[in-house]
Amino acid sequence: MFVLPAVVFLVCVVLYPLLQIFPWSLDTWSAETHSFVFVGLQEFRRLLAEPEFWHSIKITFFFTGLVVAGHLVIAWVLAEVLNSKLWPGHRLRNLVRSLLLLPWIFSVSAAALIWGALYHPIGYLSYYASHLLGVSSVGFLSNPDLTLFSVVFVILWKFYPLYMLMILGGLESLPEEVYEAARVDGVSWRQSFFQITIPLMRSLTLTVVLIDFITTFIHFDLVWIMTKGGPVNSTYLVSFYLYERGLQTSSFGYASAIGVFVALLFGILMYAYIVAFYRREA
């Protein structure tokens, strides 16, 4: 009784719409009759034959790899710093932790505007970067070779707090005695990090990588506001392809086919993740 409203709500608002993309992906949208027409796998064939689609997939993988690796490093370093024994007291540590969560509460639009101002051709970063490098202009968001890295940096800044908190939670729950015992046995910091911390944190780290990979692979909003995929398609993510070529042209069958493609990728990843977990449990 109590769970019914929420379950019905989720089925109607999330599950049912989600499942619709599977039948729709076998259709094409007819603008004349305003309805779906069954065409089998035609939209998939069209999708897989499109070089622009593969370009966006390539960019997306590169983008995702950079972000996941960057988040992992940042999250680990910050979590280790917050978990350090060198803090004189909890008060200061908690203050720093709160400040480090700040990017988390900014909306993607707010983050895009702030970094847009910093990256602006006559903005703060551009001025000092161009002086430092001795060039007339850096073009953070106009140089096709640089823009992807510029937006990756913003993504790293905006989304690290969640991963930092996850890793920190893991570090704080590690058994203190094991480290004491290792220290008594004369094990160095480096050895204890690689021999104790890393193995104990493996499944949590895997979870962080999975969540980050999924959210970043289908990332849309922040990069969309900042670049719209440009310059010269150097930041054209697969979600932009879905939005522009599927939705904006009302090719709903095509858009659903892209959605199914992403959903299948998601399914494979989840499956691999679960298998990896169960193998360790067994």
Partner 1 sequence: MRGVKSIERPLFFLLVAVILTLSVFPVVYAFFTSLKPGKELFVLPPRILPKEWTLEPYRYVFQHGEYLRYFLNSVVIAGGTTIVCLVLASLAGYGFSRFWIPAKRAILTIILLLQMFPGVVLLTPYYRLAQDLHIYDTYLILILIDSGLVLPISIWLLKNFFDTVPASMEESAMVDGSTRLQALVYVVAPLVRPGLVAMTIMAFLTSWNEFMFALILTSSPNVSPVTYGLAQLFGPYNIQRNIVMAITMLSVFPLILIFVFLQRHLVRGIMGGSGK
| Residues numbered 230-269 forming contacts with partner 1, rule: CB under 8 A | 239, 242-243, 246-247, 252, 255-256, 259, 262-263, 266
Of 20 and 191, nearer to partner 1 (C-beta) is: 20
* Among positions 59, 78, 208, 223, the unique one binding partner 1 when judged by CB under 8 A: 78
* Among positions 41, 48, 73, 110, the unique one binding partner 1 when judged by CB under 8 A: 110
What are the residues whose beta carbons fall under 8 Å from the beta carbon of 59, sequence distance 6 or more? 148, 233, 234, 235, 236, 237, 238
* Among positions 59, 68, 100, 138, the unique one binding partner 1 when judged by CB under 8 A: 100
CA distance 222 to 215: 12
Of 6 and 232, nearer to partner 1 (C-beta) is: 6
* Cis peptide bond upstream of 231, omega within 30: yes
- The least distance separating partner 1 from the CB of residue 67, rounded to whole angstroms, comes to 15
Residue whose C-alpha is closest to residue 151's, from 55, 213, 62, 243? 62
CA distance 126 to 119: 6
- The least distance separating partner 1 from the CB of residue 255, rounded to whole angstroms, comes to 4
Of 9 and 149, nearer to partner 1 (C-beta) is: 9
CA distance 35 to 25: 13
Phi, psi torsion values for 104, nearest 5 degrees:
-60, -35
Q: Sign of the CA dihedral 25, 26, 32, 33?
A: negative
- The least distance separating partner 1 from the CB of residue 39, rounded to whole angstroms, comes to 16
- The one-letter amino acid code at 220 reads F
> Does residue 79 interact with partner 1 by CB under 8 A?
no
| Token pair for 262 | 């992403």
CA distance 185 to 27: 67
Number of amino acids touching partner 1 (CB under 8 A): 76
Of 201 and 219, nearer to partner 1 (C-beta) is: 219
Of 99 and 232, nearer to partner 1 (C-beta) is: 99
Q: Which stretch binds partner 1 (CB under 8 A): 43-51, 59-67, 82-90, 194-202?
A: 82-90
What part of residues 115-174 is at the interface with partner 1 (CB under 8 A)? 115-118, 120-124, 127-128, 157, 160
| Token pair for 216 | 């970043």
> Does residue 229 interact with partner 1 by CB under 8 A?
no
